[in-house]
Amino acid sequence: MDTQAEDWTNHPYLREHPDILEGLSERSLRAIKAPGVLDKMQEVGSRSPRYCQRLLYKERKEANKSPAITVTEDDVEVFVGDVRTGLPQIKDSSVDLVFVDPPYNKEAVEELYKHIASVAGRILVDGGSLSVMCGGAHLDVAMREAIR
């Protein structure tokens, strides 16, 4: 029950143990206001916001080590080619992710982005993703060319 989004002072654990707030240092007071800390305190029965904040940090760090999906080399096929050819070797609606890193100069942006969008539209499965690395200098041109 993450009630901290509304008002951390109304958290059930604080109502049950109002004395927890007595004598808290500034750091502990900041910690108790952090998302999830009061929930963790309630879960483990702790009276230390900083300890629970560290527990949450360790849990999140560990969770990041265990990805929700695992991708192996057998799951990946890399195609290298000139997008201007249309990449006919790639079947329609057969790709989950298109990742391209084209040159960043304005001429390349004006020339390539319409081809990138066209090929991606053809080969991506429904719900697939297109990730294009682009410099910020010509982002307006890149966006305009990509949606044509």
User: In the numeric block, which tokens belong to residue 79?
Assistant: 């195609």
Q: What is the pTM of this model?
A: 0.52
For residue 100, report the phi and psi dihedrals to the nearest 5 degrees: -130, 150
Half-sphere exposure of 40 (CA within 13 A, CB side): 20
Q: Write the DSSP symbol of residue 110.
A: H
Show pLDDT as tens, one digit a residue, over the chain (148 residues): 444 445 899 999 999 999 999 999 999 999 999 999 999 999 999 999 999 999 999 999 988 887 777 888 998 999 888 999 999 999 999 999 999 998 888 888 888 988 999 999 999 999 999 998 887 887 888 788 777 7
Cβ count near 111 (within 10 Å): 15
Q: Give the position of tokens 């390349």.
A: 108
- The domain spans of the chain are 3-65, 73-146
